[in-house]
């Protein structure tokens, strides 16, 4: 069965600083990988996804993520964080034969001014 | 194109009552998924449905929980005889195809509180 690990429960960065959120997955075949963002009391919004092809994917709001098969990682990055990026970020993995998503436990991002 | 709709947004039930959560998928989407999010935790898959069929219910508790997606109308997640441990946010998502590679679009969630 697939699993996702987000090792950082809480991260604080200054506005304007760069950001990297870590995600490691466990799955025997090529995974389908996603990053979602959740603001307090809200649903989840898809930031970006990886299915195949170029391992560096671009998403909305200036986010990008890089799939590294050798490290079983799909880390999310942003070169310059804005105060509005403060939220909870979830990494998820899907498979080709089952459509359910398996989520990590999330990383809460706090942005200081 | 309206997004995934869920209602009610907030639901309060006393222990032993029934809770009914509704989800209308995005237009053109025929696949619905339900997830539960407990406080301070990630989302856990519950059930995956297509019109009139349950495809995967591996995440559903064996008792008190049921789900349906009828030919007409929204998908319903039903919780009978609710207990305090059922208090959580329940999210519905929809996707247009069966392939796992297609992203799921989430609704705003229903926050269930059991008193």
∠ CA B51-B105-A110, rounded to 5° = 150
Is the Cβ–Cβ distance between A76 and A65 less than 8 Å?
A: yes
Max distance between CA atoms of chain B, in angstroms, equals: 40
Q: What was the pLDDT predicted at B40?
A: 75
Is the Cβ–Cβ distance between B42 and A106 less than 8 Å?
A: yes
CB atoms within 10 A of CB B42: 19
- Among the partner-chain residues B35, B59, B103, the one whose CB lies closest to the CB of A49 is B103
Which tens digits make up the pLDDT trace of A53-83? 889 999 999 999 999 999 999 999 999 999 9
Is the Cβ–Cβ distance between A4 and A102 less than 8 Å?
A: yes
Average confidence (pLDDT) over B48-76: 94
Measured between alpha carbons, how far is B54 from B106 in angstroms, rounded to an integer? 19
How close does chain A come to B108, measured CA to CA in Å? Answer: 4
- The answer to whether B105 contacts chain A (CB < 8 Å) is yes
Confidence label for A48 from pLDDT (cuts 50, 70 and 90)? very high
Residue among B103, B105, B113 with most chain A CBs within 10 A, to mutate: B103
Which residues in chain B touch residue A98, judged by CB atoms under 8 angstroms apart? 48, 56, 100
Sequence-separated (6 or more) residues with CB below 8 Å from residue B94: B4, B23, B25, B26, B29, B31, B32, B33, B104, B105
- The answer to whether B101 contacts chain A (CB < 8 Å) is yes
Residue A91 has pLDDT above 70, yes or no: yes
Please give the DSSP secondary-structure letter assigned to residue A55: S
């Amino acid at each position: 069965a697939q699993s996702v690990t987000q090792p950082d429960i809480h991260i604080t960065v200054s506005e304007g600083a760069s950001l990297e959120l870590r995600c490691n997955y466990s799955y025997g075949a090529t995974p389908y990988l996603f990053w979602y963002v959740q603001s307090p009391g809200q649903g989840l919004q898809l930031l970006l996804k990886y299915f195949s092809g170029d391992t560096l994917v671009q998403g909305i709001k200036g986010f990008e993520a890089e799939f590294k098969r050798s490290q079983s990682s799909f880390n999310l990055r942003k070169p310059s964080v804005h105060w509005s990026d403060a939220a909870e970020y979830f990494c998820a993995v899907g498979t080709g034969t089952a459509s359910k998503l398996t989520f990590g436990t999330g990383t809460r991002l706090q942005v200081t001014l | 194109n309206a997004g995934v709709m869920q209602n009610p947004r907030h639901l309060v039930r006393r222990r032993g009552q029934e809770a009914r959560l509704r989800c209308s998928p995005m237009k053109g989407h025929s696949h619905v998924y339900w997830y539960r999010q407990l406080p301070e935790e990630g989302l856990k898959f519950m059930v995956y449905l297509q019109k009139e069929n349950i495809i995967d219910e591996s995440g559903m508790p064996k008792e008190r929980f049921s789900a349906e997606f009828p030919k007409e109308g929204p998908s319903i997640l039903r919780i009978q005889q609710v207990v305090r441990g059922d208090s959580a946010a329940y999210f519905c998502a929809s996707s247009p195809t069966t392939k796992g590679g297609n992203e799921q679009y989430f609704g705003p969630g229903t926050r269930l509180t059991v008193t």
